[in-house]
Amino acid sequence: MTALSLRDVHKSFGATQIIRGVTLDIAPGERHCIIGPNGAGKTTCFNLISGRFPITAGEILLNGERIDTLPPHKINRLGLSRSFQITSIFHRLSVFENLRCALLWSRGYRYSFWSPLWRQKALNEATERLLEELNLSARRGILAGLLSYAEQRALEIGMTIAGGASVILLDEPTAGMSNTETDYAMALIRRMTQGKTLVMVEHDMKVVFDLADTITVLVYGQVIATGAPADVRANRAVQEAYLGALEE
Amino acid sequence: METLLISVINGLVYGMLLFMLASGLTLIFSMMGVLNFAHASIYMVGAYLAFTVSRFLGFFPALIIAPVLCGLIGAAIEIWGLRRVHHNGHIAELLFTFGLVFIIQRLVQMTWGMLPMAYRVPPSLDFPLFVMYGANFPAYRGFMLLVSATMLLGTWVLLKKTRIGLIIQAALTHPSMVSALGHNVPRVFTTVFAGGCLLAGLAGVIGGNYQTTEPGMADSMGPIVFVVVVFGGLGSLAGCFVASMIMGMIQTFAVVIDYSIADFLRPLGVVFTGDTLLTEVLTVPVARIGALLPFIMMVTILFFRPRGLMGTRDT
Amino acid sequence: MKSRWLILTVIVVAIALPWCFYDWGHHRHAGFLISMLSQMGMMVILALSYNMLLGQAGLFSLCHATFFGMGGYATIHFLNAAGDGGLPLPMEVMPLLAGLAGLGLAILFGSMATKQRATAFAMITLGISELMATAALMFHHFFGGEGGVTTNRMIDNSVFGLTYASGLQVYYLILAWTVIATGLMYFLTLTPLGRMANATRDNFERAQFIGYDPRMVRFLQFALSGFFAGIGGGLYAITYEIVTFDALAAPLSANALLMAYIGGTSVFGGPILGAILITLLQSGVSLLSNSWLVYVGVMFIAMVIFAPTGLAGIIKAHGPIQQAGRMRGLLVPYLRLVIPALGLLLGFVGLVELMSFLTIGAAQGKKLVLFGSAIDVHAMLPWAISIGSLVVGGLWLRWEASGFHRVWEDLAAEVRR
């Protein structure tokens, strides 16, 4: 059983077709990168998978279950989590609070308005551990909106995996980062997504070829190649689409 | 039968008045995402200004001057107030226009006093246009229809046939895209806001002597206009028009209906006895419930169809 | 730990205040003071419960008074039933019943309203508010139409054996419930729901992707806010023994907004500050001038533009500087602001009052009296002084403000290091 499957997915906004029949199968534990030129529909794909937009046709399955008709929070509860291209955190809450909130649902707290958070030992300890892993312990009391860009990205990654999702979608996690920051972020991502299924949209080819087990190339809403990195690199159609950008 | 026809025409007149107000509000709302709470206040200012101007220069100059002044006031509000608040977020904008209501209300009271103004229909238009079933149909109502229809047509032409209209139309549904295309969006915003206020002012000019010109005007018109905008849906002037007509008809007809809900149900064999709130609600004649109807309608439509009748953007 | 002392002090002051103004000669309490303090208590609850929506959940509601009023109406009926012997519950519990009434209505309306985002939400609450106010005017059952409903609070049923005949006893009941309600609302902010309300306010989508349905969070917050508002309404009913449609009309909702916003929506205690301040000003200033609403409106708009964090936010911003012991550096800059600010204020108030007396006052036959001498509103001098003061004060203030801003920035940067 695949972790995530897209079966002939189509998406149109009005008369404009953005995704024109994408079929993709991602195995559990796989590290899968989606690449492609701007406007290819990579983020749209993510948006469709995570339930942000409804699909026009086709099916999306998570661990064998159809999720394309579900609202985002239900998809998340079924085990899929995502990060955003533009950093999406709770900017008026502290770093600690951000992470703690991300842990709440998976620990069964639901909409409780009777349990004081300061008393929840296990929850708070888990939050501390997460802070350490992300190397943000020193910043725990700072409002998330005041962090540096790289720190915010790290926080977002932390929030994405906090809930224990088995399928993680990362949308250009290293966008806007310097080389050092990128290396650091990738080490963090590798560490935190061990044992989970990782699907990443990325432009940084070095990152892609370092990390990926499988690469899918998306152009104009269609998959033109998918497979092991070496195969994709050698693929003619991909070379044409990228015109030498793969010469690393 | 007479009642029906007369009510239809009255409903049409009132509906058009509502549309003038609501269209300005829809444009501002759809484009800038700002709910201009002070819109009905500008309507009031338009009426008062028209009253004063018509005292010195006559009604027809007032028809032009008052709306223009309102437009200028709108531009001033946008440039010196709204624009500054914009970066504080949506809620700050709402709060700002909300605060304006108090200020404008009191300013009007301070300038003109607390009593209703004797803003009357100009003598040149104060004659019966035709007689229908023994009742006079005032020429002024015909005039109102004429003005509002002209305004409607003018706005339509402006939006559909001119370049600025094209930009505004695009910005109605995709404001950020329009900005990305390089248009001076702040100036467009100011234009739209001023334009909306101009429309409100015009509505005030012709509405002020149809209804009474008094400090409570904004409070009575305001909520109904909001209902119309929400009912018709955002981003859609056509929806706004339809909603205005429906609302105008309902409000006009409701006043004439002397039956109650219980009366409608009685032929079905359902009888209500007892002295409870429920029986009171059901036995009150619809004419009296009239004031409640717009809000019930709004709550209902937001419940079943959040986009309103023809809205293109989810609020 | 400092805040604990502050809270204790406030409570002690609140308890002791009526006795400080006690007329020992005639053995009489200052009725005006007790009345104002009682009003403050109710308004604190109203403002805090409103901030549960505005500040904490990012929801701009215009129907908050609806739940306050519903609590009030319900309590009148409960009290009447208790007085007739049909409801054997003590007075102390009445506000709780009022809260439940508010909760019930909030659940009903909240299920509709919270399905929407931002502006649509505001509009649907506007519709609800108008709907309820109009219905309250219209129907005689339950609402009593224009005249409202009345009761007698001497129901002769109390846990402490009190009759609640005197205003003082009612005040202490209000104070007790205000403290309880405030405590509960604060507790709420420390729970998962409270935190998620904040999170949903900050980022609707991100809340979804950590497993929460933001609409459900908002719905629950709305319902609970209605519960507390209802408690306030219950206290209102007990105090005044009459409830009319004013208790759920738009002006009261607007008042709640004002108090919460001016006090400061980002700090829990902000609305408390706002409620106390506005009630004080309302009782005081409205006696002196009937242009009260203009001042409130201008103050409100000024805050929206220049100080969106409210008074509490401004106070809080001084925190780091105060902790670093650098407050003295602000003394002179503040003094330099005060004088032009006063000039501006004088000019503005003068202008407003003059205008007001020119039109409204004249119609009412009143004359503007300042420090005992009548001022001729038709003479040039008062107008000239006012306008001059306004303009000069305004320009001077602007100049000083930029200077102040520089000093502030320098201090803040220093403290950060």
Quote the CA–CA distance of C58 and C200 in Å, as a whole number: 8
Other beta carbons less than 10 A from residue C314's beta carbon: 15
B57 lies in a domain?
A: yes
pLDDT confidence tier of residue B255, bands split at 50, 70 and 90: confident
pLDDT confidence tier of residue C366, bands split at 50, 70 and 90: low
Q: A184 — contact with chain C (CB < 8 Å)?
A: no
Other beta carbons less than 10 A from residue B169's beta carbon: 17
Q: Name the DSSP letter for residue B116.
A: P
With a cut of 70, say whether residue B132 has pLDDT above it. Answer: no
Interface probe for C, chosen from A105, A113, A115, A130 (most Cβ of C below 10 Å), is A113
Q: Which pair of tokens denotes residue B161?
A: 């046939």
Query: Mean per-residue pLDDT for A30-50?
Result: 88
pLDDT confidence tier of residue B314, bands split at 50, 70 and 90: very low
Distances (CA, A) of C353 to C291, C359, C383: 7, 10, 10
Query: Helix B293-304 to helix C118-138 angle, to the nearest 10 degrees?
Result: 150
> Does the CA dihedral B12-B13-B16-B17 come out positive or negative?
negative
Q: Which pair of tokens denotes residue A237?
A: 């159609």
With a cut of 80, say whether residue B122 has pLDDT above it. Answer: no
pLDDT digits (tens, 9 = 90+) for A56-103: 889 999 998 899 889 999 999 999 999 988 889 999 999 999 999 999
Position A18: which residue type? I
Q: C363 — contact with chain A (CB < 8 Å)?
A: no
Quote the CA–CA distance of A208 and A94 in Å, as a whole number: 32
pLDDT confidence tier of residue C251, bands split at 50, 70 and 90: confident
pLDDT digits (tens, 9 = 90+) for A99-141: 999 999 988 898 999 989 988 999 999 999 999 988 888 888 8
Query: Is C198 in Cβ contact with A115 (below 8 Å)?
Result: no
Query: Mean per-residue pLDDT for B124-142?
Result: 71
Query: Is B288 in Cβ contact with C134 (below 8 Å)?
Result: no
C282 or A168: which leads in pLDDT: A168
HSE, CB side, 13 Å, CA atoms: give it for residue C62: 25
Quote the CA–CA distance of C232 and B240 in Å, as a whole number: 39
Residue labelled with tokens 């295309």: B181
Query: Is C210 in Cβ contact with A101 (below 8 Å)?
Result: yes
Interface probe for C, chosen from B37, B295, B314 (most Cβ of C below 10 Å), is B295
Is the Cβ–Cβ distance between C194 and C56 less than 8 Å?
yes
Residues of B within 8 A of C298 (CB-CB) are 103
Hey, which bits of chain B come out as E strands? Answer: 128-132, 135-138
Q: Which residues pair with A201 in a beta bridge?
A: A34, A171
What radius of gyration, in Å, describes the C-alpha atoms of chain B? 21
Residues of B within 8 A of C290 (CB-CB) are none
In this prediction, residue C380 carries a pLDDT of 78
In this prediction, residue C341 carries a pLDDT of 85
pLDDT confidence tier of residue C225, bands split at 50, 70 and 90: very high
Q: C195 — contact with chain A (CB < 8 Å)?
A: yes
Q: Which pair of tokens denotes residue A75?
A: 């998809």
Taking CA atoms, what residue in C is nearest to A82? Answer: C209
In this prediction, residue C367 carries a pLDDT of 63
Interface probe for C, chosen from B91, B94, B284 (most Cβ of C below 10 Å), is B91
- Cα–Cα nearest to A165, from A111, A234, A103: A103
Q: Residue A31 is inside which H or E element, if any?
A: strand A31-35
Residue labelled with tokens 């999720």: A67
Distances (CA, A) of A149 to A153, A177, A181: 6, 8, 10
Q: Which pair of tokens denotes residue B265?
A: 């149900």
Pick the CATH number of A1-79+165-185+196-248 from 3.40.50.2300, 3.40.50.300, 3.30.70.1520, 3.40.30.10: 3.40.50.300
Quote the CA–CA distance of B282 and B276 in Å, as a whole number: 10
Is the Cβ–Cβ distance between C322 and C275 less than 8 Å?
no
Q: Using CB atoms, list chains with 3+ pairs below 8 Å to chain C.
A: A, B
Query: Is C141 in Cβ contact with B109 (below 8 Å)?
Result: no
* CB nearest to C308's CB, from B88, B112, B275: B88
Query: Mean per-residue pLDDT for B224-241?
Result: 80
The string of DSSP codes covering B219-268 is: HHHHHHHHHHHHHH-TT-HHHHHHHHHHHHHHHHHHHH---BHHHHHGGG
Helix segments in A95-235, DSSP class H: 95-104, 121-133, 149-162, 179-192, 205-211, 229-234
Quote the CA–CA distance of C117 and C205 in Å, as a whole number: 12
A180 or C291: which leads in pLDDT: A180
Q: Which pair of tokens denotes residue B95?
A: 């709060």
- Cα–Cα nearest to A161, from A122, A192, A124: A192
Query: Is C131 in Cβ contact with B299 (below 8 Å)?
Result: yes
pLDDT confidence tier of residue C365, bands split at 50, 70 and 90: low
Query: Is C123 in Cβ contact with B109 (below 8 Å)?
Result: no
With a cut of 60, say whether residue B207 has pLDDT above it. Answer: yes
Residue C71: partners with Cβ closer than 8 Å, 6 or more residues away: C95, C98, C99, C101, C102, C229, C230, C231, C232, C233, C234, C236, C237
In this prediction, residue B35 carries a pLDDT of 80
Long-range contacts of B296-301 (CB under 8 A, 24+ apart): B296/C131, B297/B227, B297/B231, B297/B247, B297/B250, B298/B226, B298/B227, B298/B230, B298/B231, B298/C123, B298/C124, B298/C127, B299/C112, B299/C124, B299/C127, B299/C128, B299/C131, B301/B230, B301/B231
In this prediction, residue C6 carries a pLDDT of 83
pLDDT confidence tier of residue B97, bands split at 50, 70 and 90: confident
Query: Mean per-residue pLDDT for B146-167?
Result: 80
Interface probe for B, chosen from C360, C364, C368, C377 (most Cβ of B below 10 Å), is C360
Give how far the C-alpha of residue A75 lies from the chain's centroid of Cα atoms, to the nearest Å.
13
In this prediction, residue C257 carries a pLDDT of 92
pLDDT confidence tier of residue A150, bands split at 50, 70 and 90: confident
Residues in chain B: 315
| Strand bridging mode B128-132 / B135-138 | antiparallel
pLDDT confidence tier of residue B275, bands split at 50, 70 and 90: low
Q: Which pair of tokens denotes residue B197?
A: 């206020």
Quote the CA–CA distance of B125 and B129 in Å, as a whole number: 9
Position A160: which residue type? T
Q: C211 — contact with chain A (CB < 8 Å)?
A: yes
| Strand bridging mode C242-243 / A80-82 | unpaired
Residues of C within 8 A of B292 (CB-CB) are 131, 134-135, 138
Q: C123 — contact with chain B (CB < 8 Å)?
A: yes
Backbone angles phi, psi at A184, to 5 degrees: -60, -50
Residues of C within 8 A of A146 (CB-CB) are none
Q: How far is C404 from chain A (nearest CA, A)?
A: 24
Quote the CA–CA distance of B23 and C126 in Å, as a whole number: 19
Q: B306 — contact with chain C (CB < 8 Å)?
A: yes
Taking CA atoms, what residue in C is nearest to B288? Answer: C138
In this prediction, residue C227 carries a pLDDT of 97
* CB nearest to A163's CB, from C187, C211, C266: C211
Query: Is A72 in Cβ contact with C202 (below 8 Å)?
Result: no
Query: Is B99 in Cβ contact with C304 (below 8 Å)?
Result: yes
pLDDT confidence tier of residue B1, bands split at 50, 70 and 90: low
Q: Which chain A residues in 105-124 lie under 8 Å from chain C, judged by CB atoms?
A: 105-106, 109-118
In this prediction, residue B108 carries a pLDDT of 86
Quote the CA–CA distance of C258 and C283 in Å, as a whole number: 15
Residues of C within 8 A of A166 (CB-CB) are none
Is the Cβ–Cβ distance between A103 and A127 less than 8 Å?
yes
pLDDT digits (tens, 9 = 90+) for C32-69: 888 899 999 999 999 999 999 999 999 999 999 999 99
Domain boundaries, chain A: 1-79+165-185+196-248, 92-163
Helix segments in C86-191, DSSP class H: 94-113, 118-138, 167-189
Count of domains for chain B: 1
**Diameter over CA atoms, chain A:** 61
Residue labelled with tokens 């709306």: B67
Query: Is B306 in Cβ contact with C120 (below 8 Å)?
Result: yes
B298 lies in a domain?
A: no
Is the Cβ–Cβ distance between B65 and B201 less than 8 Å?
no
Cα distance between the two ends of chain B: 41
Do A and C make contact, counting contact as 3+ CB pairs within 8 angstroms?
A: yes
B147: containing domain: 2-215
Q: C358 — contact with chain A (CB < 8 Å)?
A: no
Position A182: which residue type? T
Is the Cβ–Cβ distance between A215 and A226 less than 8 Å?
yes
With a cut of 60, say whether residue C239 has pLDDT above it. Answer: yes
Residue C183 burial by Cβ neighbours in a 10 Å radius (0-12, 13-18, 19+): exposed
In this prediction, residue A248 carries a pLDDT of 47
* CB nearest to C202's CB, from A93, A116, A118: A93
* CB nearest to C191's CB, from A76, A88, A116: A116
Q: C397 — contact with chain A (CB < 8 Å)?
A: no
Other beta carbons less than 10 A from residue A128's beta carbon: 15
In this prediction, residue A101 carries a pLDDT of 93
Quote the CA–CA distance of A8 and A5 in Å, as a whole number: 10
Taking CA atoms, what residue in C is nearest to A169? Answer: C209
Q: C292 — contact with chain A (CB < 8 Å)?
A: no
Taking CA atoms, what residue in C is nearest to B226? Answer: C123
pLDDT confidence tier of residue B276, bands split at 50, 70 and 90: low
Residue labelled with tokens 């044992």: A195
Other beta carbons less than 10 A from residue C67's beta carbon: 38
With a cut of 50, say whether residue A160 has pLDDT above it. Answer: yes
Q: Which chain C residues in 191-250 lie under 8 Å from chain B, judged by CB atoms?
A: none
Backbone angles phi, psi at C140, to 5 degrees: -85, -35
Quote the CA–CA distance of C237 and C361 in Å, as a whole number: 34
pLDDT confidence tier of residue C364, bands split at 50, 70 and 90: low
With a cut of 60, say whether residue A195 has pLDDT above it. Answer: yes
Interface probe for C, chosen from A49, A53, A67, A73 (most Cβ of C below 10 Å), is A73
With a cut of 90, say whether residue A198 has pLDDT above it. Answer: yes
* In chain A, % of residues over pLDDT 70: 97
| Strand bridging mode A214-219 / A31-35 | parallel
* CB nearest to A112's CB, from C191, C202, C224: C191
C93 or B233: which leads in pLDDT: C93
B30 lies in a domain?
A: yes
Query: Mean per-residue pLDDT for C68-91?
Result: 89
pLDDT confidence tier of residue C339, bands split at 50, 70 and 90: confident
pLDDT confidence tier of residue C184, bands split at 50, 70 and 90: very high
Q: C135 — contact with chain B (CB < 8 Å)?
A: yes
Q: Residue A170 is inside which H or E element, if any?
A: strand A167-171
Backbone angles phi, psi at C26, to 5 degrees: -100, 5
Query: Mean per-residue pLDDT for B248-270?
Result: 74
Query: Is C138 in Cβ contact with B114 (below 8 Å)?
Result: no
Q: A142 — contact with chain C (CB < 8 Å)?
A: no
Do B and A make contact, counting contact as 3+ CB pairs within 8 angstroms?
A: no
Helix segments in C203-291, DSSP class H: 204-208, 214-240, 250-263, 270-288
In this prediction, residue B9 carries a pLDDT of 83
With a cut of 60, say whether residue A211 has pLDDT above it. Answer: yes
Q: Which chain C residues in 274-303 lie under 8 Å from chain B, judged by CB atoms?
A: 291, 293-294, 296-298, 300-301
Residues of C within 8 A of A100 (CB-CB) are 195
Query: Is C254 in Cβ contact with B110 (below 8 Å)?
Result: no
Residue labelled with tokens 């006052």: C361
In this prediction, residue A245 carries a pLDDT of 53
Position B110: which residue type? M
Q: B179 — contact with chain C (CB < 8 Å)?
A: no
Query: Is C141 in Cβ contact with B275 (below 8 Å)?
Result: yes
The Cα angle at residue A94 between residues A140 and A77, in degrees rounded to 5: 105
Position C410: which residue type? D
